Amino acid sequence: MIKIRGLHHHFNIGKKGDQRQVPVLKGVTLEVSEGEIVAILGKSGSGKSTLLHILAGFMLPEAGSVMVNGKETSVLKEAEQADFRLQNFGFIFQNFQLMPGLSAFENVELPLKIKGMDEKERKLKVENLLQKVGLQEVAGHYPNELSGGQQQRVSIARALITDAPIILADEPTGSLDSETEKEILLLIQSLNKKLGLTFVIITHDEEVATVADRQYRLHDGELVKGEQRHAI
């Protein structure tokens, strides 16, 4: 499903004219199969977010190849990347990234609106999904009226609404307390089992990585294989 080969990337650090290059990814290679949960662990600044951004098409790698569902995404133009994301990826962010002016229902509905889906069809789909993630009661609430766990559930629902086969999660429990964290991780596991979704989770939290089928650790720009899944 996802094949990353020899990914290289660096950042320029320092003032203009006095910049130095800091490599963040040094030939990263990774394969993720359909229906797998893969966790990428790493300290702050280890390059794990850069890897996710390249995978999502938010930025282009300096070298290497990213194949998703048999398509080389690192050569796509901006508009093609956007279209590819809409069809293939769902996103869960650390700070939820919900639209403050939209209700929970409208936030989940947003990707379908972008997709151009008919209103009736859209409404039905969003209602069903909100019920699945236990948010039907707060569908009309705005993000500032929801708890952290509820906001993350809305964010997960938004990631799932387009039926994208791959969910990219960047520190999905980073803003949550330990109780809510467990709740969200259970939801991720359940969605993986029930819907066969593929998850790539970026985290610094060892606990979060326990839901993964496979764990990798990014260290000095290189990806090292870690432990296997064990129960939460």
Q: Shortest approach of another protein to residue 228 CB, angstroms?
A: 31
Q: Which strand ranges, in their side-by-side order, compose the sheet holding 63-68? A: 20-32, 2-13, 63-68, 71-72
- Residue 102 touches another protein, criterion: CB under 8 A: yes
Distances (CA, A) of 141 to 103, 109, 112, 151, 152: 5, 14, 19, 10, 14
Q: Shortest approach of another protein to residue 13 CB, angstroms?
A: 16
| Choice between 102 and 226, CB closer to another protein | 102
Structure tokens at 79: 């508009």
CA distance 99 to 96: 9
Q: What is the DSSP letter of 116?
A: T
Number of residues that bind another protein (CB under 8 A): 30
Stretch that binds another protein, among 34-42, 87-95, 131-139, 220-228 (CB under 8 A): 87-95
Q: Shortest approach of another protein to residue 116 CB, angstroms?
A: 6
- Residue 110 touches another protein, criterion: CB under 8 A: yes
Considering only 9, 25, 73, 85, the residue that binds another protein (CB under 8 A) is: 85
- Residue 113 touches another protein, criterion: CB under 8 A: yes
Considering only residues 36 through 55, tell me which ones interact with another protein, judged by CB under 8 A.
Answer: 53
| Choice between 107 and 189, CB closer to another protein | 107
| Choice between 65 and 175, CB closer to another protein | 175
**Which residue blocks in the chain are alpha helix, DSSP H?**
48-56, 78-88, 104-115, 119-132, 148-160, 178-195, 206-209
Considering only residues 144 through 183, tell me which ones interact with another protein, judged by CB under 8 A.
Answer: 158, 162
Rounded to the nearest 5 percent, the helix, strand and coil shares of the chain are 40, 30, 35
CA nearest neighbour of 103 among 144, 152, 160, 149: 144
Parallel, antiparallel or unpaired: strands 198-203 and 63-68: unpaired
- Residue 101 touches another protein, criterion: CB under 8 A: yes
- Residue 99 touches another protein, criterion: CB under 8 A: yes
CA distance 91 to 113: 16
**Residue ranges in contact with another protein by CB under 8 A:** 53, 56, 58-59, 78-79, 82-83, 85-87, 91, 93, 95, 97-102, 110-111, 113-116, 118-119, 158, 162
